[in-house]
Amino acid sequence: MTAERFDIVVIGAGIAGASVAAELAGAGHILLAEAEDFPGYHATGRSAAFREECYGGPDVVPLTLASGSYLEKGGFLTPRGGLYVAREGQGDELDAFYRQFCAAGVTMERLDRAALEARLPGIRPGWDYALHQPNCADIDVAALHEHYLAKARSGGVELRTGHRLSAAERDGAGWRLDFGSRGEVLAGVVVNAAGAWADHVACMCGANPLGITPLRRTVMQLRIDPSPPADLPLVLDLSGDFYFRPDGGKLWLSPHDETPSEPCDAAPEEMDVALAIDRFEKVVDWRIEAVERKWAGLRSFSPDRLPVYGFDPQVGDFFWFAGQGGYGIQTAPAGARLGAQLITGATRDEMTERLDVKLYTPARFAAVMA
Ligand SMILES: Cc1cc2nc3c(=O)[nH]c(=O)nc-3n(C[C@H](O)[C@H](O)[C@H](O)COP(=O)(O)OP(=O)(O)OC[C@H]3O[C@@H](n4cnc5c(N)ncnc54)[C@H](O)[C@@H]3O)c2cc1C
Protein backbone atom coordinates (compact mmCIF):
# COMPACT_ATOMS: atom_id res chain seq x y z
CA MET A 1 0.00 0.00 0.00
CA THR A 2 1.37 3.45 -0.86
CA ALA A 3 2.02 5.61 2.19
CA GLU A 4 -0.05 8.77 2.52
CA ARG A 5 1.81 11.89 1.42
CA PHE A 6 1.96 15.21 3.29
CA ASP A 7 3.76 18.38 2.28
CA ILE A 8 4.80 19.10 5.85
CA VAL A 9 4.82 16.88 8.94
CA VAL A 10 5.22 18.63 12.30
CA ILE A 11 6.56 16.36 15.04
CA GLY A 12 5.14 17.26 18.48
CA ALA A 13 1.88 19.03 19.33
CA GLY A 14 2.88 21.05 22.38
CA ILE A 15 2.60 24.82 22.06
CA ALA A 16 5.52 24.86 19.58
CA GLY A 17 4.11 22.30 17.15
CA ALA A 18 0.51 23.50 17.52
CA SER A 19 1.39 27.15 16.92
CA VAL A 20 3.68 26.56 13.95
CA ALA A 21 1.14 24.16 12.41
CA ALA A 22 -1.57 26.83 12.81
CA GLU A 23 0.63 29.40 11.13
CA LEU A 24 1.42 26.94 8.33
CA ALA A 25 -2.23 26.02 7.75
CA GLY A 26 -3.16 26.52 4.13
CA ALA A 27 0.42 26.02 2.93
CA GLY A 28 -0.26 22.46 1.78
CA HIS A 29 -1.35 19.12 3.18
CA ILE A 30 -0.06 19.16 6.76
CA LEU A 31 0.14 16.54 9.50
CA LEU A 32 0.67 17.40 13.18
CA ALA A 33 1.89 14.19 14.82
CA GLU A 34 1.91 13.82 18.61
CA ALA A 35 3.35 10.82 20.46
CA GLU A 36 1.07 11.12 23.50
CA ASP A 37 -2.67 10.46 23.58
CA PHE A 38 -3.39 14.15 24.01
CA PRO A 39 -1.41 17.23 23.04
CA GLY A 40 0.08 19.37 25.79
CA TYR A 41 1.01 16.50 28.13
CA HIS A 42 4.66 17.57 28.55
CA ALA A 43 6.20 21.07 29.04
CA THR A 44 3.21 22.96 27.65
CA GLY A 45 0.77 21.50 30.17
CA ARG A 46 3.10 22.14 33.11
CA SER A 47 4.12 25.78 32.77
CA ALA A 48 3.87 28.48 35.41
CA ALA A 49 1.78 30.44 32.91
CA PHE A 50 3.23 33.91 33.03
CA ARG A 51 4.52 36.44 30.55
CA GLU A 52 7.50 38.29 31.96
CA GLU A 53 9.29 40.56 29.53
CA CYS A 54 12.87 40.05 30.82
CA TYR A 55 12.57 36.28 30.95
CA GLY A 56 15.22 34.52 28.86
CA GLY A 57 17.52 37.51 28.51
CA PRO A 58 17.84 40.43 26.06
CA ASP A 59 17.81 38.28 22.90
CA VAL A 60 14.51 36.65 23.87
CA VAL A 61 12.92 40.03 24.63
CA PRO A 62 12.21 40.80 20.92
CA LEU A 63 10.24 37.54 20.60
CA THR A 64 8.30 38.24 23.80
CA LEU A 65 7.51 41.83 22.83
CA ALA A 66 6.55 40.88 19.27
CA SER A 67 4.14 38.25 20.68
CA GLY A 68 2.48 40.61 23.16
CA SER A 69 -0.30 42.11 21.09
CA TYR A 70 -1.37 38.71 19.66
CA LEU A 71 -1.73 37.38 23.21
CA GLU A 72 -3.49 40.51 24.39
CA LYS A 73 -5.90 40.79 21.47
CA GLY A 74 -6.73 37.09 21.76
CA GLY A 75 -7.72 37.58 25.40
CA PHE A 76 -5.03 35.19 26.68
CA LEU A 77 -3.50 37.64 29.19
CA THR A 78 -4.61 38.77 32.65
CA PRO A 79 -2.60 41.72 33.94
CA ARG A 80 -0.60 40.91 37.07
CA GLY A 81 2.58 43.00 37.19
CA GLY A 82 5.97 41.62 38.11
CA LEU A 83 8.46 42.41 40.86
CA TYR A 84 12.15 41.59 40.74
CA VAL A 85 13.30 41.69 44.36
CA ALA A 86 16.91 42.19 45.44
CA ARG A 87 18.83 41.80 48.67
CA GLU A 88 20.80 44.40 50.53
CA GLY A 89 24.08 44.85 48.63
CA GLN A 90 22.56 44.04 45.24
CA GLY A 91 21.79 47.64 44.33
CA ASP A 92 24.42 47.84 41.57
CA GLU A 93 23.35 44.50 40.12
CA LEU A 94 19.73 45.66 40.07
CA ASP A 95 20.71 48.90 38.34
CA ALA A 96 22.70 47.00 35.68
CA PHE A 97 19.72 44.67 35.13
CA TYR A 98 17.39 47.66 34.87
CA ARG A 99 19.60 49.41 32.30
CA GLN A 100 20.16 46.26 30.24
CA PHE A 101 16.47 45.40 29.92
CA CYS A 102 15.19 48.96 29.49
CA ALA A 103 17.64 49.23 26.58
CA ALA A 104 16.11 46.03 25.17
CA GLY A 105 12.65 47.63 25.25
CA VAL A 106 11.20 46.35 28.54
CA THR A 107 9.15 48.79 30.62
CA MET A 108 10.25 48.84 34.28
CA GLU A 109 10.40 51.19 37.23
CA ARG A 110 12.62 51.17 40.32
CA LEU A 111 10.99 50.77 43.75
CA ASP A 112 12.44 51.63 47.13
CA ARG A 113 11.78 49.57 50.25
CA ALA A 114 8.60 51.48 51.17
CA ALA A 115 7.10 50.98 47.71
CA LEU A 116 8.15 47.33 47.79
CA GLU A 117 6.40 46.80 51.16
CA ALA A 118 3.22 48.28 49.72
CA ARG A 119 3.23 45.74 46.87
CA LEU A 120 4.55 42.78 48.86
CA PRO A 121 3.16 42.89 52.42
CA GLY A 122 5.10 40.63 54.79
CA ILE A 123 8.44 41.01 53.00
CA ARG A 124 11.25 40.34 55.45
CA PRO A 125 14.05 42.80 56.25
CA GLY A 126 17.10 42.66 53.99
CA TRP A 127 15.17 42.86 50.72
CA ASP A 128 15.88 46.46 49.98
CA TYR A 129 15.18 47.06 46.32
CA ALA A 130 12.83 45.99 43.58
CA LEU A 131 11.94 46.61 39.98
CA HIS A 132 8.30 46.74 38.99
CA GLN A 133 7.30 45.50 35.56
CA PRO A 134 3.76 46.68 34.77
CA ASN A 135 3.31 44.59 31.62
CA CYS A 136 3.87 41.24 33.30
CA ALA A 137 0.74 39.07 32.99
CA ASP A 138 -0.72 35.62 33.57
CA ILE A 139 -1.24 33.61 30.36
CA ASP A 140 -4.17 31.27 29.86
CA VAL A 141 -1.94 28.53 28.45
CA ALA A 142 -4.67 25.95 27.89
CA ALA A 143 -6.76 28.48 25.94
CA LEU A 144 -3.77 29.57 23.85
CA HIS A 145 -2.82 25.99 23.05
CA GLU A 146 -6.41 25.10 22.18
CA HIS A 147 -6.66 28.25 20.04
CA TYR A 148 -3.67 27.14 17.97
CA LEU A 149 -4.92 23.56 17.68
CA ALA A 150 -8.34 24.82 16.54
CA LYS A 151 -6.76 27.28 14.09
CA ALA A 152 -4.63 24.48 12.66
CA ARG A 153 -7.62 22.11 12.35
CA SER A 154 -9.81 24.74 10.73
CA GLY A 155 -7.01 25.42 8.24
CA GLY A 156 -6.97 21.76 7.19
CA VAL A 157 -4.09 20.49 9.36
CA GLU A 158 -4.62 16.91 10.46
CA LEU A 159 -3.79 16.20 14.14
CA ARG A 160 -2.92 12.61 14.94
CA THR A 161 -2.27 11.71 18.58
CA GLY A 162 -0.63 8.45 19.67
CA HIS A 163 1.74 8.93 16.72
CA ARG A 164 5.33 8.66 17.90
CA LEU A 165 7.93 9.06 15.18
CA SER A 166 10.21 6.05 15.55
CA ALA A 167 12.33 6.17 12.39
CA ALA A 168 12.86 8.36 9.36
CA GLU A 169 14.68 8.08 6.08
CA ARG A 170 15.09 10.18 2.97
CA ASP A 171 12.76 9.07 0.22
CA GLY A 172 13.38 10.70 -3.13
CA ALA A 173 12.79 14.42 -2.70
CA GLY A 174 11.31 14.04 0.79
CA TRP A 175 10.97 11.78 3.78
CA ARG A 176 9.52 8.40 4.72
CA LEU A 177 8.42 8.63 8.35
CA ASP A 178 7.71 5.56 10.44
CA PHE A 179 5.16 5.83 13.25
CA GLY A 180 5.46 2.19 14.32
CA SER A 181 2.11 0.40 14.55
CA ARG A 182 0.40 3.58 13.23
CA GLY A 183 2.11 3.13 9.89
CA GLU A 184 4.25 5.24 7.59
CA VAL A 185 3.71 8.55 5.86
CA LEU A 186 5.67 10.48 3.25
CA ALA A 187 6.60 14.08 3.89
CA GLY A 188 8.14 16.92 1.91
CA VAL A 189 9.41 18.73 5.01
CA VAL A 190 9.82 17.57 8.61
CA VAL A 191 9.39 20.18 11.34
CA ASN A 192 11.08 19.18 14.58
CA ALA A 193 8.90 20.57 17.40
CA ALA A 194 9.57 17.67 19.76
CA GLY A 195 10.54 19.74 22.83
CA ALA A 196 12.82 17.69 25.11
CA TRP A 197 13.09 15.05 22.37
CA ALA A 198 14.29 17.48 19.68
CA ASP A 199 17.81 16.07 19.51
CA HIS A 200 16.42 12.50 19.40
CA VAL A 201 14.19 13.38 16.47
CA ALA A 202 17.13 15.06 14.74
CA CYS A 203 19.24 11.90 15.13
CA MET A 204 16.38 9.80 13.69
CA CYS A 205 16.43 12.06 10.65
CA GLY A 206 20.20 11.86 10.24
CA ALA A 207 20.83 15.41 11.47
CA ASN A 208 23.48 16.20 14.05
CA PRO A 209 22.07 16.94 17.50
CA LEU A 210 22.53 20.56 18.58
CA GLY A 211 22.86 19.84 22.29
CA ILE A 212 19.27 20.73 23.18
CA THR A 213 19.26 19.94 26.90
CA PRO A 214 16.12 19.31 28.95
CA LEU A 215 16.33 20.92 32.41
CA ARG A 216 13.80 20.00 35.08
CA ARG A 217 11.78 22.81 36.66
CA THR A 218 9.60 22.26 39.75
CA VAL A 219 6.46 24.16 40.72
CA MET A 220 4.25 23.66 43.77
CA GLN A 221 0.91 25.00 44.90
CA LEU A 222 0.85 26.19 48.52
CA ARG A 223 -1.96 27.00 50.91
CA ILE A 224 -0.66 29.91 52.95
CA ASP A 225 -1.80 32.10 55.82
CA PRO A 226 -2.66 34.83 55.09
CA SER A 227 -4.01 33.92 51.62
CA PRO A 228 -2.09 35.84 48.97
CA PRO A 229 -3.80 39.03 47.86
CA ALA A 230 -5.39 38.51 44.45
CA ASP A 231 -3.45 41.48 43.09
CA LEU A 232 -0.08 40.21 44.30
CA PRO A 233 2.45 40.54 41.47
CA LEU A 234 4.63 37.75 40.16
CA VAL A 235 7.64 37.94 42.50
CA LEU A 236 11.02 36.92 41.08
CA ASP A 237 14.38 36.85 42.79
CA LEU A 238 17.01 38.93 40.99
CA SER A 239 19.52 36.16 41.80
CA GLY A 240 17.25 33.55 40.21
CA ASP A 241 16.57 31.46 43.34
CA PHE A 242 12.75 31.49 43.28
CA TYR A 243 9.56 32.93 41.88
CA PHE A 244 6.01 32.88 43.17
CA ARG A 245 2.62 34.19 42.20
CA PRO A 246 -0.97 33.77 43.36
CA ASP A 247 -3.41 31.48 41.61
CA GLY A 248 -7.04 31.33 42.74
CA GLY A 249 -6.32 32.08 46.43
CA LYS A 250 -3.32 29.74 46.46
CA LEU A 251 0.35 30.42 45.76
CA TRP A 252 2.48 28.87 43.02
CA LEU A 253 6.13 28.66 44.03
CA SER A 254 9.22 27.47 42.18
CA PRO A 255 12.83 27.15 43.38
CA HIS A 256 13.89 28.07 39.83
CA ASP A 257 15.65 24.71 39.55
CA GLU A 258 17.40 23.61 36.37
CA THR A 259 18.44 19.98 36.80
CA PRO A 260 19.63 18.29 33.58
CA SER A 261 17.42 15.35 32.67
CA GLU A 262 16.89 12.77 29.99
CA PRO A 263 13.72 13.48 28.01
CA CYS A 264 10.99 11.86 30.15
CA ASP A 265 7.71 12.31 31.98
CA ALA A 266 9.30 14.60 34.59
CA ALA A 267 8.30 14.38 38.25
CA PRO A 268 9.17 16.66 41.18
CA GLU A 269 11.90 15.68 43.66
CA GLU A 270 11.31 16.22 47.40
CA MET A 271 14.65 18.01 47.68
CA ASP A 272 13.52 20.72 45.26
CA VAL A 273 10.24 21.17 47.14
CA ALA A 274 12.15 21.56 50.43
CA LEU A 275 14.58 24.00 48.80
CA ALA A 276 11.75 26.13 47.48
CA ILE A 277 10.07 26.32 50.88
CA ASP A 278 13.33 27.20 52.60
CA ARG A 279 13.96 30.04 50.13
CA PHE A 280 10.36 31.26 50.32
CA GLU A 281 10.43 31.48 54.11
CA LYS A 282 13.42 33.82 53.87
CA VAL A 283 11.47 36.27 51.70
CA VAL A 284 8.08 36.72 53.38
CA ASP A 285 6.66 35.98 56.83
CA TRP A 286 3.61 34.12 55.52
CA ARG A 287 2.88 30.71 57.09
CA ILE A 288 2.77 27.69 54.80
CA GLU A 289 -0.20 25.48 55.77
CA ALA A 290 0.13 22.82 53.10
CA VAL A 291 1.81 21.86 49.85
CA GLU A 292 -1.36 20.99 47.98
CA ARG A 293 0.11 20.00 44.66
CA LYS A 294 3.50 19.81 42.99
CA TRP A 295 4.67 19.09 39.50
CA ALA A 296 7.72 19.31 37.27
CA GLY A 297 8.37 19.69 33.59
CA LEU A 298 11.30 19.89 31.23
CA ARG A 299 12.41 23.22 29.79
CA SER A 300 14.69 22.52 26.82
CA PHE A 301 17.61 24.80 26.03
CA SER A 302 20.04 25.08 23.15
CA PRO A 303 23.70 25.68 24.11
CA ASP A 304 23.25 29.50 24.02
CA ARG A 305 19.75 29.29 25.57
CA LEU A 306 18.07 30.91 22.55
CA PRO A 307 15.40 29.13 20.50
CA VAL A 308 16.35 27.36 17.29
CA TYR A 309 14.24 28.25 14.25
CA GLY A 310 15.50 27.31 10.82
CA PHE A 311 16.36 24.63 8.29
CA ASP A 312 19.19 22.32 9.22
CA PRO A 313 22.24 23.51 7.25
CA GLN A 314 23.29 19.93 6.41
CA VAL A 315 20.18 17.79 6.14
CA GLY A 316 17.68 19.01 3.56
CA ASP A 317 13.99 19.62 4.34
CA PHE A 318 14.55 19.28 8.08
CA PHE A 319 13.38 22.33 10.04
CA TRP A 320 14.30 22.99 13.67
CA PHE A 321 11.61 24.54 15.86
CA ALA A 322 13.04 23.74 19.27
CA GLY A 323 14.87 25.03 22.34
CA GLN A 324 12.02 27.26 23.55
CA GLY A 325 13.42 27.02 27.08
CA GLY A 326 11.38 28.68 29.80
CA TYR A 327 9.60 31.12 27.49
CA GLY A 328 7.96 28.96 24.83
CA ILE A 329 4.46 30.12 25.77
CA GLN A 330 5.09 33.86 25.89
CA THR A 331 7.11 33.76 22.65
CA ALA A 332 4.78 31.37 20.79
CA PRO A 333 2.98 33.87 18.53
CA ALA A 334 6.08 35.51 17.06
CA GLY A 335 8.13 32.32 17.09
CA ALA A 336 5.45 30.40 15.20
CA ARG A 337 4.82 33.19 12.70
CA LEU A 338 8.55 33.48 11.99
CA GLY A 339 8.95 29.70 11.80
CA ALA A 340 6.16 29.37 9.26
CA GLN A 341 7.58 32.24 7.18
CA LEU A 342 11.00 30.59 7.13
CA ILE A 343 9.49 27.25 6.09
CA THR A 344 7.33 28.61 3.27
CA GLY A 345 9.58 31.49 2.22
CA ALA A 346 6.76 33.96 2.91
CA THR A 347 7.60 37.62 3.43
CA ARG A 348 8.04 38.74 7.00
CA ASP A 349 5.21 40.82 8.40
CA GLU A 350 4.61 43.42 11.09
CA MET A 351 4.98 40.83 13.85
CA THR A 352 8.29 39.43 12.66
CA GLU A 353 10.01 42.09 10.54
CA ARG A 354 12.16 43.39 13.39
CA LEU A 355 13.33 39.95 14.57
CA ASP A 356 16.97 39.09 13.92
CA VAL A 357 16.79 35.61 12.36
CA LYS A 358 20.55 35.11 12.75
CA LEU A 359 20.10 34.88 16.51
CA TYR A 360 17.91 31.82 16.15
CA THR A 361 19.29 29.97 13.13
CA PRO A 362 20.66 26.43 13.72
CA ALA A 363 23.61 27.45 11.53
CA ARG A 364 25.03 29.36 14.52
CA PHE A 365 26.02 25.96 15.91
CA ALA A 366 28.00 25.04 12.80
CA ALA A 367 31.06 24.14 14.89
CA VAL A 368 29.00 21.74 17.04
CA MET A 369 27.48 20.17 13.94
CA ALA A 370 30.74 19.70 12.08
C1 LIG B 1 7.59 24.15 35.15
C2 LIG B 1 7.63 24.99 33.91
C3 LIG B 1 7.26 26.32 33.96
C4 LIG B 1 7.23 27.09 32.79
N5 LIG B 1 6.73 28.36 32.85
C6 LIG B 1 6.64 29.08 31.72
C7 LIG B 1 6.04 30.37 31.75
O8 LIG B 1 5.58 30.84 32.79
N9 LIG B 1 5.96 31.08 30.57
C10 LIG B 1 6.45 30.56 29.39
O11 LIG B 1 6.39 31.24 28.37
N12 LIG B 1 7.01 29.33 29.34
C13 LIG B 1 7.12 28.59 30.47
N14 LIG B 1 7.67 27.35 30.44
C15 LIG B 1 8.27 26.89 29.18
C16 LIG B 1 7.23 26.35 28.22
O17 LIG B 1 6.33 25.51 28.91
C18 LIG B 1 7.97 25.60 27.11
O19 LIG B 1 8.92 26.46 26.48
C20 LIG B 1 7.01 25.12 26.04
O21 LIG B 1 5.92 24.45 26.60
C22 LIG B 1 7.74 24.21 25.06
O23 LIG B 1 6.80 23.75 24.13
P24 LIG B 1 7.11 22.55 23.18
O25 LIG B 1 5.93 22.34 22.32
O26 LIG B 1 8.43 22.79 22.54
O27 LIG B 1 7.35 21.30 24.17
P28 LIG B 1 6.31 20.22 24.71
O29 LIG B 1 5.10 20.85 25.27
O30 LIG B 1 7.08 19.32 25.62
O31 LIG B 1 5.87 19.45 23.41
C32 LIG B 1 6.74 18.59 22.69
C33 LIG B 1 5.87 17.45 22.23
O34 LIG B 1 6.60 16.63 21.32
C35 LIG B 1 6.13 15.31 21.47
N36 LIG B 1 7.11 14.39 20.92
C37 LIG B 1 8.36 14.15 21.37
N38 LIG B 1 8.96 13.20 20.59
C39 LIG B 1 8.05 12.83 19.65
C40 LIG B 1 8.08 11.88 18.59
N41 LIG B 1 9.15 11.11 18.35
N42 LIG B 1 6.97 11.76 17.82
C43 LIG B 1 5.86 12.54 18.05
N44 LIG B 1 5.79 13.45 19.06
C45 LIG B 1 6.87 13.59 19.85
C46 LIG B 1 5.98 15.17 22.99
O47 LIG B 1 5.12 14.11 23.32
C48 LIG B 1 5.44 16.54 23.37
O49 LIG B 1 4.04 16.57 23.48
C50 LIG B 1 7.67 26.54 31.56
C51 LIG B 1 8.07 25.20 31.52
C52 LIG B 1 8.04 24.43 32.66
C53 LIG B 1 8.42 22.98 32.58
Q: Tens of pLDDT along 150-162?
A: 999 999 999 999 9
Our count of domains for the chain comes to 2
CA-to-CA distance for 100 and 20, rounded, in angstroms? 30
The atom of ligand 1 lying closest to the CA of 194 is 34
Q: Pick left, alpha or beta for residue 52 (phi over 0 → left; psi -120 to 50 → alpha; otherwise beta).
A: beta
Pick the last residue of a domain from 255, 282, 301.
Answer: 301
Going from the Cα of 78 to the center of ligand 1, the distance in angstroms, rounded, reads 22
Q: In which band, very low, low, confident or very high, does the pLDDT at 1 lie, cut at 50, 70 and 90? A: low
CA-to-CA distance for 53 and 1, rounded, in angstroms? 51
Q: Does some domain include residue 63?
A: no
Q: Does some domain include residue 238?
A: yes
Helix (H, G, I), strand (E, B) or coil at 15: helix
166 and 229 share one domain: no
Residue nearest to atom 20 of ligand 1 (CA): 328
* Residue 53 clears pLDDT 90, i.e. is over it: yes
Residue 173 is predicted with a pLDDT of 87
Over range 192-205, report the average pLDDT: 98
Residue 23 is predicted with a pLDDT of 98
Which of 10, 60, 197, 243 most suits a substitution to test ligand 1, by most atoms within 8 Å of the C-beta?
Answer: 197
Residue nearest to atom 16 of ligand 1 (CA): 328
Beta bridge partners of 213: 301
Going from the Cα of 368 to the center of ligand 1, the distance in angstroms, rounded, reads 24
* Residue 370 clears pLDDT 60, i.e. is over it: no
Q: What is the mean pLDDT of the chain?
A: 97
222 and 151 share one domain: no
Over range 344-369, report the average pLDDT: 93
Q: Does some domain include residue 50?
A: no
Residue 2 is predicted with a pLDDT of 81
Going from the Cα of 37 to the center of ligand 1, the distance in angstroms, rounded, reads 15
Decide the pairing of beta strands 250-254 and 213-225. Answer: antiparallel
Going from the Cα of 80 to the center of ligand 1, the distance in angstroms, rounded, reads 23
123 and 225 share one domain: yes
185 and 221 share one domain: no
Residue 172 is predicted with a pLDDT of 86
Residue 39 is predicted with a pLDDT of 97
For residue 257, the tally of other CB atoms under 10 A from its CB is 20
Going from the Cα of 335 to the center of ligand 1, the distance in angstroms, rounded, reads 14
Residue 294 sits in which domain range? 82-134+213-301
Q: Does some domain include residue 67?
A: no
Instruction: Decide: 191 and 182 in contact? Cβ < 8 Å.
Output: no
Q: Find the radius of gyration of the CA atoms of the chain.
A: 21
Pick the last residue of a domain from 269, 301, 333.
Answer: 301
Contacts of 236 (CB under 8 A, 6+ apart): 52, 82, 83, 84, 85, 242, 243
* Residue 142 clears pLDDT 80, i.e. is over it: yes
Going from the Cα of 260 to the center of ligand 1, the distance in angstroms, rounded, reads 15
Pick the last residue of a domain from 285, 301, 317.
Answer: 301
Which strand (E) or helix (H) includes residue 175?
Answer: strand 174-178
Q: Does some domain include residue 65?
A: no
* Residue 359 clears pLDDT 90, i.e. is over it: yes
Q: Does some domain include residue 58?
A: no
CA-to-CA distance for 98 and 100, rounded, in angstroms? 6
Tens of pLDDT, residues 329-352: 999 999 999 999 999 999 999 999
Over range 112-129, report the average pLDDT: 95
Q: Does some domain include residue 55?
A: no
Tens of pLDDT, residues 59-91: 999 999 999 999 999 999 999 999 999 999 999
C-alpha distances in angstroms, 4 versus 30, 155, 157, 297?
11, 19, 14, 34
The atom of ligand 1 lying closest to the CA of 328 is 19
Tens of pLDDT, residues 299-332: 999 999 999 999 999 999 999 999 999 999 999 9
Residue nearest to atom 10 of ligand 1 (CA): 327
The atom of ligand 1 lying closest to the CA of 50 is 8
Tens of pLDDT, residues 245-301: 999 999 999 999 999 999 999 999 999 999 999 999 999 999 999 999 999 999 999
Helix (H, G, I), strand (E, B) or coil at 178: strand
Q: Does some domain include residue 148?
A: yes
CA-to-CA distance for 253 and 240, rounded, in angstroms? 13
C-alpha distances in angstroms, 320 versus 39, 78, 205, 220, 315?
19, 31, 12, 32, 11
Residue 366 is predicted with a pLDDT of 83
Domain harbouring 147, CATH code: 3.50.50.60
Residues with CB under 6 A from ligand 1: 11-17, 33-36, 41-44, 46-50, 163-165, 193-197, 201, 217, 219, 297-299, 324-330
Alpha helices (H) along 26-90: 61-73
Residue nearest to atom 35 of ligand 1 (CA): 12
218 and 284 share one domain: yes
154 and 287 share one domain: no
Going from the Cα of 343 to the center of ligand 1, the distance in angstroms, rounded, reads 21
